[in-house]
Amino acid sequence: MALKLGFIGARGMVGRVLLERMRQEKDFEHFDTIFFSTSQVGQPAPEDSCEEKLWDAHSIESLSQMDVIISCQGGDYTNELHSPLRQSGWKGYWVDAASTLRMSSDSCLVLDPINKNLIKESLRNGTLDFVGSNCTVSLMLLALAGPLKEGVVEWVNSHTYQAASGGGAAHMRELLKGMGYLYKKHQNLIDDDRGDILALDHLISEDLRNASDFPKEKFGAPLAANLLPWIDSAVEMGQTREEWKGMVEANKILGLNDSLGVDGTCVRVGALRSHSQALTLKLKKSVSADELEKMIGDAHEWVDVVANNKEATIKDLTPAAASGTLRIKVGRIRPMKLSPDMMNVFTVGDQLLWGAAEPLRRFLRILLEDKA
C-alpha cells in the first residue's frame, strides 16, 4: 500500500516549486497524497491529490492519518503544530522546509548529494523529523562537495549575495517595484544619454534615503539600486542569524562536531531568485587551482564549473544563468595572493530549487527506497 503523504503549503512560493518538481519527477505516483490548507479548507485540491478537497491543516486528527507530512507552510505553522502532533502519539515522518526544527537533536538535515549516508543512518535509527537546511548552506555545500569530501578544507569565509526570493514572494515584488519606481520617476533623465548623470545619481540617492513612498515595507529599506548587509535577526558576537546558520547547519549536515569553520557576511542584493556566494577557502594542504577545479567538478552531476575568464563568467556564473535550473555554478577558482593555502571560489545556485524544494523531494525518494 502506498504511503499517505500530507502536503502543506502548496500555494506558497516554495510549495509551488516543490509541487512542480514533484510533478516533473512523477513523485506523486508513489504516494497517496492529501493536500492540507490553513485557510482554504474544503476548496478543491490540486489534481495530484487522492481527495477532491483540501483538508484542514490545523486538525491533529486529520494530520495523524498521514505516514509522511511535508510542510512548506513556514516556521510559525511548524511551531504551532509539530509538538501537539507528536504529543498526540503520531509517529510519522515530518519533512519541513522551515528552520524551526533544524537544530533540534531529534532532527536530520537533508542534502543527499552530501549526506545520503547520514540520512539513511538516521532513518535506521528511528529519526522522524527531516528538515531542509538554509538555502545558502545547501548551495555552498553543493558547490564545495568535492573538496569537503577530500577533507582538504579547514575553514570557509563566505560572503553572500542573496536574492530577494529568500525573503518571500512579496519581497521579490518589492524589489521590482523599487526598480519601477526609480525608472518612472526619473525616466526623462534616465533616457537622456547625454544628460547629467551626477544630477540623476543625486536625485536617486535622495529617493533611496528620504522618499516616504519608496516601496520598502518588506525589506525595511530600499533594495533596488542598493544592497542590505543584514539578513534576519541579531545573534551573539555581532553575527546575524543567517550568518550563524552557516557554521552550525553545515557541520550538522556533514556530521561534524563544529570542526569546519564557516563565517562571513550575508548580504541581500537585487537578484531575484538565485543566491551567490564569494568563498575564501583555507585549505589544510596546498592544492593547485586545477586540482581544486577537478575536485569540485567531479563531485556530483549538478555542478557546472565555469572557466575563470570574463566571457564565461558573465555569461554562466550569474543569478540570471542559474535561476530556474538545478545547476550549481562554480567559478572564479584561483589561488589567493594572501597565502598559498587559500583559494578563491564563487558560486551561484537557485534558492528555491536546490536551496529549498529539491532536497525535500529527494528525501521522499530516499524514504521510499528505505521502506521498499
Q: Determine the 3-state secondary structure of 233 from DSSP.
A: coil
Q: How far apart are CA 306 and CA 301, in angstroms?
A: 14
Do 224 and 175 form a contact (C-beta atoms < 8 A)? Answer: yes
* Lookup result for grid cell 548552506: 137
Residue 242 engages ligand HSE in binding (rule: CB under 6 A): yes
> Which amino acid makes up residue 288?
S
> Of 162, 276, 277, 323, which one interacts with ligand HSE (CB under 6 A)?
162
Q: Give phi and psi for 357, each to the nearest 5.
A: -75, -40
Which of residues 49 and 162 has its CB atom nearest to ligand HSE in the complex? Answer: 162
Name the minimum Å distance from CB 124 to ligand HSE. Answer: 28
Concatenated DSSP letters of 40-109: -TTSBPPTT-SSSB-EETT-HHHHTT-SEEEE-S-HHHHHHHHHHHHHTT--SEEEESSSTTTT-TTEEE
Enclosing H/E stretch for 33: strand 31-37
Our finding on whether 321 is near ligand HSE (CB under 6 A) is: no
**216, 170 contact by CB (below 8 A):** no
Determine, following the binding rule CB under 6 A, whether residue 15 of this chain makes contact with ligand HSE: no
Query: Could you tell me which stretch among 35-43, 160-168, 219-227, 335-343 binds ligand HSE (CB under 6 A)?
Result: 160-168
Cβ atoms of residues 289 and 333 within 8 Å: yes
Q: Which amino acid is at 78?
A: T
**Cell 513612498 belongs to which residue?**
213
Shortest-Cβ-distance residue relative to ligand HSE: 166
Residue 352, exposed/middle/buried by CB under 10 A (0-12, 13-18, 19+)? buried
| Contact map string, positions 211 to 240, toward ligand HSE, x by CB under 6 A | --------------------x---------
Q: With binding defined as CB under 6 A, does residue 249 bind ligand HSE? A: no
What burial class does residue 286 get, using C-beta atoms within 10 Å of its C-beta: 0-12 exposed, 13-18 middle, 19+ buried? exposed
Contact 1, 63 (CB under 8 A): no
Residue 135 interacts with ligand HSE (CB under 6 A)? yes
Q: How far is the CB of 311 from ligand HSE (least distance, A)?
A: 29
Segment interacting with ligand HSE, rule: CB under 6 A, options 67-75, 161-169, 302-310, 325-333: 161-169
The catalytic residues are: 135, 275
Q: Considering beta carbons, is residue 273 or 329 the nearer one to ligand HSE?
A: 273
113, 147, 166, 349: which one contacts ligand HSE (CB under 6 A)? 166
Closest contact distance (angstroms) between CB of 268 and ligand HSE is 7
In the complex with ligand HSE, the residue whose CB is nearer, 143 or 231, is 231
Residue 347 near ligand HSE by CB under 6 A = no
Phi, psi of 331, rounded to the nearest 5 degrees? -155, -160
Shortest separation between residue 253's beta carbon and ligand HSE, angstroms: 14
**Binder to ligand HSE among 74, 113, 167, 264 (CB under 6 A)?**
167
Instruction: Compare residues 139 and 204 and give the one whose CB is closer to ligand HSE.
Output: 139
- Site residues (CB under 6 A) for ligand HSE, limited to 34-73: none
Q: Tell me the β-bridge partners of 337.
A: none
Candidates 162-170, 181-189, 246-254, 300-308 — which segment interacts with ligand HSE by CB under 6 A? 162-170
| Residue nearer to ligand HSE on the CB measure, 279 or 283 | 279
Helix 197-210 vs helix 169-185: crossing angle, to nearest 10: 140
Residue 134 binds ligand HSE, judged by CB under 6 A: yes
Residue 156 or 305: which CB sits closer to ligand HSE? Answer: 156
Residues 239-257, buried b or exposed e (16+ Cβ, 10 A)?
bbebbbbbbbbbbbbbeee
Q: State which residue, 232 or 341, has the beta carbon closest to ligand HSE.
A: 232
Binding site for ligand HSE (CB under 6 A): 134-135, 162, 166-167, 231, 242
